[in-house]
Structure 1
C-alpha cells in the first residue's frame, strides 16, 4: 500500500495538485463518495471498486495538501476507535455513549 500511495502523491505533484486549495479537493472527495453511493444503490460491483479507489486517491491528495500522510491519518483514527465499546444496530456501529444517551 505504501508504494501505491507514493505513486498517487507523485502523480498529484506532477499535476500540481499538492499545491492546490484543499477545499477544492474536498469537493472531489464528496463527488467520489457520491459515486460509491450510486454504485451501492445500483449493486454495481465494478463501479463500487472504482469508486472506493477514487475516494482513497482523493483522500491521499487531501492529506498531502495539508502536510499529512494517509498513514498518519488512519493510525490516528484507529487509535481513537480501537478500544471503543458499543454495538452494531441495523448494520451501523453505535458508540456506547450514544446508546446510553
Structure 2
C-alpha cells in the first residue's frame, strides 16, 4: 500500500496538486462520495469500485496538502477500533460506550 500512496503523491506533485487549495480537494471528496452513493443506489459495482478508488486518491492528496500522513491516519483509526467492543444493530456497529448512553 505504501508504494501506491507514494505513487499518488508523486502524481499529485507532478501536477502541482500537492500544495494546492485543500478546500477544493475536500469538495472533490464530497463529489466522489456522491458518485459512490449513486453507484451503490444503482447497484453498479464498477461505479462503486471507481468511486472508492477516486475517494482514496483524493484523501491521499488532501493529507499531502495538509501535511498529514495518510497511512498514519489509517493506523490511528485502526488502533482506535481494533479492540472496540459493542454490537451491530440493524447493520451498524454501535460502540459499547454509546450503547451504555442509551440505557
CA distance in 1 between counterparts of 2:66 and 2:46 reads 31
DSSP 3-state at the match of 1:18: coil
1:45 correspondence with 2:45: yes
1:34 correspondence with 2:57: no
Runs of 4+ deviating beyond 3 Å = none
1:13 correspondence with 2:13: yes
CA shift at 1:5, angstroms? 1.2
CA shift at 1:69, angstroms? 2.0
TM-score by length of 2: 0.93
TM-score by length of 1: 0.94
1:71 correspondence with 2:71: yes
Instruction: Map Cα deviations across residues 24-52 of structure 1 (whole Å, 9 max, x no partner).
Output: 11111111111111100000000111000
Q: Which runs of 5+ in 2 are unaligned?
A: none
DSSP 3-state at the match of 1:87: strand
Matching of residues 54-69 of structure 1 within 5 Å:
54-69=54-69
Alignment root-mean-square deviation, CA? 0.9
